[in-house]
Amino acid sequence: MGTIEKIAGPLVVAKQMLGSNMYDVVRVGDAKLIGEVIQLRKDKAIIQVYEDTTGLRPGETVTTTGLPLSVELAPGILGKIYDGVQRPLDSIEKKSGSFIGKGIEVSPLDKKKKWKFTSTAKKGVHISEGSIIGHVQETELIKHYIMVPKGVEGTLERIKEGSFTIEEEIAVVRGKSKSHSLNMIQRRAVRIPQGFKSKFRSAEPLVTGQRVVDTFFPVAKGGTAAVPGPFGSGKTVIQHQLAKYSDADIVVYVGCGERGNEMTEVLVEFPHLLDPKTNKPLIERTVLIANTSNMPVAAREASIYTGITLAEYFRDMGYNIALMADSTSRWAEAMREMSARLEEMPGEEAYPAYLPKRLAEFYERAGKVESRNGKVGSITVIGAVSPAGGDTSEPVSQGTLRVTKVFWALDASLASSRHFPSINWLNSYSLYLGSFHEWYVKNVGEMFPENRQNAMKLLQHEAELKDIVQLVGADALPDTERVVLEVGRMIREDFLRQSAFDQIDAYTSLEKQKLMLDNILYFGKRADEAAKRGVPADKITSMKVRGEISRMKEWIEKDAEASAKKVRAGIDAEFDALVREEAVAAK
Cβ proximity to ligand ADP, 222 vs 229, nearer residue? 229
For ligand ADP, the closer of residues 65 and 427 by Cβ is 427
Q: Which stretch binds ligand ADP (CB under 6 A): 109-117, 124-132, 232-240, 570-578?
A: 232-240
In whole angstroms, what is the distance from residue 410 CA to residue 384 CA?
10
Q: Does 392 bind ligand ADP (CB under 6 A)?
A: no
Our finding on whether 431 is near ligand ADP (CB under 6 A) is: no
- Helix axis angle for 395-403 and 355-364, nearest 10°, is 40
Per-residue x/- marks for ligand ADP, 483-522, CB under 6 A?
A: ---------------xxxx---------------------
Report the distance separating Cα 514 and Cα 451, nearest Å: 9
Q: Are strands 33-41 and 70-73 parallel, antiparallel or unpaired?
A: unpaired
- Which CB atom, from 59 or from 501, has the smaller least distance to ligand ADP? 501
In the complex, least distance from residue 501 CB atom to ligand ADP, rounded to whole angstroms: 5
Amino acid at 240: H
Neighbours of 565 (CB within 10 A): 12
Confirm or reject binding of residue 245 to ligand ADP (CB under 6 A): no
232 touches ligand ADP (CB under 6 A):
yes
Nearer residue to ligand ADP within complex by CB, 115 or 495: 495
Q: How far is residue 119's CA from residue 133's CA, in Å, rounded to a whole number?
A: 6
Contact status: 255 vs ligand ADP (CB under 6 A): no
Interaction of residue 228 with ligand ADP, rule CB under 6 A = no
Contact yes or no for 11/338 (Cβ under 8 A): yes
β-strand partners of 155 = 126, 174
Residues 6+ apart with CB under 8 A from 559: none
Smallest distance, Å, CB 575 to ligand ADP? 32
Supply the DSSP symbol for 493.
I
Q: Looking at beta carbons only, is 234 or 307 nearer to ligand ADP?
A: 234
For position 231 contacting ligand ADP by CB under 6 A, the verdict is yes
Which of these ranges, 136-144, 152-160, 228-236, 342-350, lies near ligand ADP under the rule CB under 6 A? Answer: 228-236
Amino acid sitting at position 241 = Q
Q: Which of 197, 199, 170, 200 is nearest to 184 (CA)?
A: 170
- Cβ–Cβ contacts within 10 Å for residue 122, how many? 9
CA–CA gap between residue 547 and residue 523 (Å, rounded)? 12
Q: Which is nearer to ligand ADP, 240 or 526 (CB)?
A: 240
Q: How far is CA 468 from CA 16, 171, 478, in A?
A: 73, 74, 12
* Smallest gap from residue 386 Cβ to ligand ADP (A): 9
Name which position in 188, 235, 300, 546 contacts ligand ADP (CB under 6 A). 235
Least distance CB 452 / ligand ADP (angstroms): 21
Closest distance between ligand ADP and the C-beta of residue 21, in Å? 41
Residues 146 and 73: their CA atoms lie apart, in Å, by 10
- Nearest Cα to Cα of residue 257 among 422, 127, 83: 83
* Out of 234, 281, 307, 399, the residue judged to bind ligand ADP by CB under 6 A: 234
Residue 189 binding ligand ADP, by CB under 6 A: no
Residues 273-332 that bind ligand ADP (CB under 6 A): none
User: From the CB of 359, what's the least distance to ligand ADP, in Å?
Assistant: 22
Phi and psi, residue 49, nearest 5°? -105, 135
Angle, CA of 296, 302 and 307, to the nearest 5°: 125
**279: three-class secondary structure by DSSP:** coil
- Alpha carbon distance 157, 150 (integer Å): 18
Closest distance between ligand ADP and the C-beta of residue 503, in Å? 12
Alpha carbon distance 535, 527 (integer Å): 9
Q: Please state the closest distance from residue 263 (CB atom) to ligand ADP, in A.
A: 11
Smallest separation, CB 198 to ligand ADP (Å): 38
Select from 436, 504, 518, 411 the least CA-distant residue to 207.
436
CB of 388 to ligand ADP, least distance (A): 15
**Which of helix, strand or coil describes residue 133?**
strand
Among 2, 229, 383, 449, binds ligand ADP (CB under 6 A): 229
Contact 504, 549 (CB under 8 A): no
Interaction between residue 420 and ligand ADP (CB under 6 A)? yes
Helix axes 510-532, 448-472, angle to 10 degrees: 50
Residue 502 Cβ vs ligand ADP, minimum distance, rounded to whole Å: 8
Residue placing its CB nearer to ligand ADP in the complex, 183 or 236: 236
Residue closer to ligand ADP (CB basis): 77 or 256: 256
Whole-number Å distance between alpha carbons of 339 and 486: 53
* Total interface residues for ligand ADP by CB under 6 A: 14
Among the listed residues 139, 236, 435, 541, the single contact to ligand ADP using CB under 6 A: 236
Which residue in 395, 421, 524, 570 binds ligand ADP (CB under 6 A)? 421
From candidates 64, 186, 215, 233, binder to ligand ADP by CB under 6 A: 233
CA distance 36 to 14: 12
Minimum separation from the CB atom of position 497 to ligand ADP (A):
8
Q: Which helix (H) or strand (E) holds 286?
A: strand 286-291
Q: How far is the CB of 241 from ligand ADP (least distance, A)?
A: 7
User: Rounded distance, CA 100 to CA 52, Å?
Assistant: 10
> Where along the sequence are the contacts to ligand ADP (CB under 6 A)?
229, 231-237, 420-421, 498-501
